[in-house]
Amino acid sequence: MRYMSLIKIDPAGVPEGGPSEELMTEMGKLIEEMTKAGVLLDTAGLAPLDESTRVQLSGGKLTVIDGPFTEAKEFVGGYALTQCRSKEEAIEWGKRFLAIHGDQWEIALEIREVQEAA
């Protein structure tokens, strides 16, 4: 089963200067472990919120709005696509990902199974 993990970040909970060198090193180790285990299919961070564009449909009318979106209480900062035997396994990998961030971050994962085409 494939799972999409959306990395949700509270902008107020990001340490000054962003991820530390130590965090990036630990992230690299985890990504390597997940890749060798055949779990990680794809992962990436996303461009900053102020570089995003929102395309919205409301009442039949399409609107294109450029960021930043100051009303956002959280934003999707990245994603990971994994291949796991169960949702529980996907959650365990997600917990490990969050744990390496330490206590300076306000961050959450939304883990959802990818619905396969019929």
Beta bridge partners of 33: none
Domains and CATH numbers, the chain: 2-113 (3.30.70.1060)
> What is the per-residue pLDDT across 87-108, written as a single tens digit (0 to 9) for each?
999 999 999 999 999 888 999 9
DSSP one-letter code for 115: P
Q: pLDDT higher for 118 or 111?
A: 111
Q: What's the pTM?
A: 0.85
> What is the per-residue pLDDT across 16-68, written as a single tens digit (0 to 9) for each?
888 899 999 999 999 999 999 999 999 999 988 888 898 999 999 999 988 87
